[in-house]
């Protein structure tokens, strides 16, 4: 049910990305890092949620932002990759996206046996920390801007 809520949010985010105007280039890096920050925070909600409904709401909200930003990220990359390399680069992206999922699921399954809440806390902490570091670094905040 939680995966379904995340996927519903992601679907709505994908539709929103195709419906609304694209944000300015200067906001791209910041939006990507905010997505990571909020997605990480949604894992904290999962760790302390009093009921399944709260977990599903957090997953749906995280999916909404993540679906939107994935469309923005892929279209941003495709606009910058030479056409002759686009197929290769996209296949590598798909490999990392889909190919590592079973490994991630296996590791998460093993970690859940130790502590379900711990998995949510560690995942949230990792995403939030990386997002904060990214927001501190000017090179990451400027991601998406066309070099002068």
Domain limits for position 20: 2-141
Whether 25 is covered by a domain: the verdict is yes
Whether 60 is covered by a domain: the verdict is yes
List the Cα angle 98/99/101 in 5-degree steps: 65
Of 62, 79, 63, nearest to 22 by C-alpha is 79
Question: In this structure, what token pair is assigned to residue 11?
Answer: 């679907």
Helix extents (H) in 23-115: 25-48, 52-80, 83-94, 101-114
Residue with tokens 């709505």, as numbered in its chain: 12
Task: Indicate the number of domains in the chain.
Answer: 1
pLDDT tens-digit map of 76-86? 888 888 889 98
Whether 147 is covered by a domain: the verdict is no
Q: What is the pTM of this model?
A: 0.81
Instruction: Provide the residue-wise pLDDT of the chain in tens; the chain has 148 residues.
Output: 988 999 999 999 999 999 988 888 778 888 889 999 999 999 999 899 989 999 999 999 999 998 998 898 888 888 888 889 988 988 988 888 888 888 988 998 999 999 989 999 999 999 999 999 999 988 877 776 666 5
Rg (CA), the chain: 16
Per DSSP, 146 falls in state P
Whether 44 is covered by a domain: the verdict is yes
Whether 148 is covered by a domain: the verdict is no
Angstrom distance (rounded) from CA 54 to CA 72: 27
pLDDT tens-digit map of 12-44? 999 999 998 888 877 888 888 999 999 999 999
């Amino acid at each position: 049910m939680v995966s379904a809520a995340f996927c519903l949010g992601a679907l709505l985010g994908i539709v929103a990305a195709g419906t609304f105007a694209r944000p300015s280039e200067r906001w791209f890096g910041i939006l990507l890092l905010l997505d990571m920050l909020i997605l990480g925070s949604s894992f904290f909600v999962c760790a302390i949620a009093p009921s399944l409904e709260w977990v599903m709401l957090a997953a749906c909200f995280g999916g909404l932002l993540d679906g939107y930003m994935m469309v923005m990220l892929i279209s941003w990359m495709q606009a910058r990759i030479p056409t002759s390399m686009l197929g290769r680069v996209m296949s590598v992206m798909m490999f990392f996206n889909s190919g590592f999922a079973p490994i991630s699921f296996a590791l998460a399954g093993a970690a859940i046996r130790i502590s379900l809440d711990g998995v949510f806390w560690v995942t949230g902490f990792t995403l939030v920390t990386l997002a904060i570091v990214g927001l501190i670094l000017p090179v990451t905040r400027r991601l998406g801007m066309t070099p002068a």
